Structure 1
Amino acid sequence: MALAIEAITALLTLCGLAYLLLALWGTRDFAHYWRRRLKDTGFAPDVSILKPVKGIDPHMYDGLVSHCRQQYAGNFEILFGVGSMDDPAMGEIERLQRAFPDCIIRVVECRERLGTSGKVSNLVQMLREARYEHVLINDSDIYVSPLYLARVMACFADASVGLVTAPYIGRTESGGGRTLWSRLEALGISTDFLPGVLTARKLEHGIRFGLGSTLATSKSVLAKAGGLEPLTEYLADDYEMGARIAAAGYRVELCAEVVETTVPAYRFRGFCDHQLRWARSTRDSRKLGYVGLGITFALPWAVMTCIASGFALWSFSLLSVVVLARVAVALSVGVGILRDGQVLRDLWLLPLRDFFGLGFWAWSFAGDTVVWRGERFHLRDGRIAR
């Protein structure tokens, strides 16, 4: 039995090491692709930015201001969707309108509840009010650079592109807002989540899903993909939108423009709820790929191999190679692609992050309950129900 456990953990470690090498390959391919693409196409279609809001998120106003300061050749408007004009976010929106009177900022009151997902329900109603053919959807707390719109919308110069999405980093708050759990989540985004995306992009010759940090498309493409209405019951609406647009025959482009989101000052329970929601939504979205996700946690498997082998010399050699590969992935993606300085600060937390990642992967198979904005839902094939 002991020999069998040793053999299994060693095999899983080798599979995890192979994944890390694939992640490095995918990262290199992505960097080379965008090095060739970095040129001004001059394509700047008019665009409506759709931002569904509910309440006030940390640093929300700074993110909204960054959208108003775009250096963009085309016209753009910002639409906010609220469930009620009494929503606390209205104060921040009115403040933004006063600060940027030359920017087209409108509020859409979304009175209908079209499905379980209030966010997508709002998006359906906002889309009806959008003035322009191209639309860009992102969350209320997303912070962007002044060239964000120019770089994202330039991708549509290629007529085969139906959706443009973008990688992101999770910025932890300073001072008391920087908890251990918020640092672990931010580290996971930069060194675990995006490497998986880049590996999938390489192996599948492109991506067939979207990332909620940026979902840019057009009304006509959305209509051919079935519209937003079918997504009102899905938790991972960003994934579903990308999958349906890809199925309609369009290409999903992962832009090199990196945006930021704020990671809340999680306590342990909030961290677990959020990680488990991510894990279970991914489980339902990419069933076969998610089963294989367990082998990607090479570092925990390597540590378990050392224990199972009785701390044999060969197991420490294998652990050393895995540590080198894991750090290489973290630095090449987190620092090289995302320019996330937090990765260097928290690199020593990688083993803890990976053990938690493996634990949440296993835990995700134990149930179907997720917590989203304080509400508890049940997940069935990606659909959410109370």
Structure 2
Amino acid sequence: MAIFIEAITTLLTLAGLAYLLLALWGTRDFAHYWRRKSVDAGFAPDVTILKPVKGVDQRMYAGLVSHCRQQYAGRFEIVFGVSSRNDPAVSEIERLQVEFPECAIRLVECRERLGTSGKVSNLVQMLREARYEYVVINDSDIRVSPHYLTRVMQCFSDAKVGMVTAPYIGRTAEGGRGLTVWSRLEALGISTDFLPGVLTARRLEGGIHFGLGSTLATSKSVLAKAGGLESLTEYLADDYEMGARISAAGYRVELSNEVVETTVPEYHFGGFKDHQLRWARSTRDSRKLGYLGLGITYAVPWAVMTCVASGLALWSFSLLSVVLLARVAVALSVGVGVLGDEQVLRDLWLLPLRDFFGLGFWMWSFAGDTVVWRGELFALRDGRIRPVHPVGSQ
């Protein structure tokens, strides 16, 4: 039995090492693609930014301001959507309108509830108010550079592109109580775990066929051909579904080289656990076959288990050393090289802990079908969510 366990963990470690090498290949391919790619710098169609908002967090306003400071050749407007005029975010939007009178900013009250997902329900109603053919959807806490719209919209100069999405980093607090170990693990996972998986999938599948919620840029006509937003009101991973449907409609989904920021909350373990399980189970339902293979990507935990199973044999420590070297190489090439996330250097020592938690949540994700989202418990079936009962807020 001991020999059998040792053989299994060794095979899983080698498979994980192979994945890390594929991730480095995918990263190199992505960087090379954008070095040689030419875009029409003068292509700047008019665009509507759709931002559904609910409540206020500490860094939301800075993200909103970054959208108003776009250096964009075309016209753009920002349409905010709230479920109620009593939402605390309304005062922040009114403040934004006063601070940036030259920017076209509108607020839409979305009174209808069209499905389980309040966010998508609001987006359906906001889309009706959009003046322009092209739309960019992103979350309220997303922070962007002044060239964000220029770089995203230039991709549409290729008529085959139906959606543009963007990589992102998770920005933690600079210090103090907000910089918890759980927040650091969350941000580290985005830059060194999640995006390497995206770049690997992009290389192996000949492109990406899904969207990332950090940016979902498309046009009304393409969205209509893909089934519209109305068909997504019951889905948890609406960003993934939107990209998958646009890809299935015959359009290309482009991963931009424009990196944006999202805010990582002041997580304690409960909030970290809820978010990780929600991500894991939504991915499990969206990419069933790919998700089964995700378990082998955690090479460091498998290598440590191989050391234990082999009775601390010298060869197993050699294998662990190679795996650690490959894991650090992926973290630095993607997290620092592609994303420019300096937090990776700060938290590099947490990589093994991050990978053990990642493997644990992957296993845990198969033990149930419930997710916590915005303080509510939902049952998840084939990507669709159904409310169960309210739980304590994250």
What TM-score do the two structures reach when normalised by structure 2? 0.97
User: Structure 1: which 5+ residue stretches go unaligned?
Assistant: none
Do residues 293 (structure 1) and 286 (structure 2) align?
no
Distance between the aligned counterparts of 1:309 and 1:91, measured in 2? 62
1:382 — aligned with what?
383
Distance between the aligned counterparts of 1:268 and 1:23, measured in 2? 29
Distance between the aligned counterparts of 1:117 and 1:136, measured in 2? 19
Distance between the aligned counterparts of 1:375 and 1:45, measured in 2? 39
**Contact (CA 8 Å) 2:39, 2:154: kept in 1 or not?**
no
Q: State the 1:198 CA deviation.
A: 0.0
1:64 — aligned with what?
64
**Contact (CA 8 Å) 2:20, 2:327: kept in 1 or not?**
yes
SS in 2 for 1:199: helix
The Cα offsets for residues 30-81 of structure 1, whole Å up to 9 and x where unpaired, read as 0000011265521000000000001112300000000000000000000000
Distance between the aligned counterparts of 1:200 and 1:252, measured in 2? 13
Distance between the aligned counterparts of 1:350 and 1:41, measured in 2? 39
SS in 2 for 1:144: coil
The Cα offsets for residues 190-243 of structure 1, whole Å up to 9 and x where unpaired, read as 000000000000000000000000000000000000100010000000000000
Do residues 2 (structure 1) and 2 (structure 2) align?
yes
Do residues 133 (structure 1) and 133 (structure 2) align?
yes
Equivalent residue letter for 2:130: A
Equivalent residue letter for 2:170: G
SS in 2 for 1:233: coil
Do residues 311 (structure 1) and 312 (structure 2) align?
yes
Q: How does 1:111-260 map to 2 (within 5 A)?
A: 111-174=111-174, 175-260=176-261
Distance 1:359 1:8, change over 3 A: same
The Cα offsets for residues 268-320 of structure 1, whole Å up to 9 and x where unpaired, read as 00000000000000000000000000000000000000000000011001001
SS in 1 for 2:217: strand
Q: State the 1:187 CA deviation.
A: 0.1
Q: State the 1:109 CA deviation.
A: 0.6
1:43 — aligned with what?
43
1:17 — aligned with what?
17
User: Structure 2: which 5+ residue stretches go unaligned?
Assistant: 388-394
**Contact (CA 8 Å) 2:167, 2:258: kept in 1 or not?**
yes
**Contact (CA 8 Å) 1:57, 1:140: kept in 2 or not?**
no
Q: Which moved more, 1:174-183 or 1:14-23?
A: 174-183
**Contact (CA 8 Å) 1:58, 1:141: kept in 2 or not?**
no
Q: State the 1:162 CA deviation.
A: 0.2
SS in 2 for 1:261: strand
1:95 — aligned with what?
95
**Contact (CA 8 Å) 1:116, 1:233: kept in 2 or not?**
yes
Q: State the 1:10 CA deviation.
A: 0.1
The Cα offsets for residues 314-347 of structure 1, whole Å up to 9 and x where unpaired, read as 1001001000000000000000000000000000
1:80 — aligned with what?
80
SS in 1 for 2:21: helix
Identity fraction in percent: 83
Distance between the aligned counterparts of 1:52 and 1:41, measured in 2? 29
Do residues 320 (structure 1) and 325 (structure 2) align?
no
**Contact (CA 8 Å) 1:43, 1:154: kept in 2 or not?**
yes
Distance between the aligned counterparts of 1:363 and 1:283, measured in 2? 11
Q: How does 1:356-375 map to 2 (within 5 A)?
A: 356-375=357-376
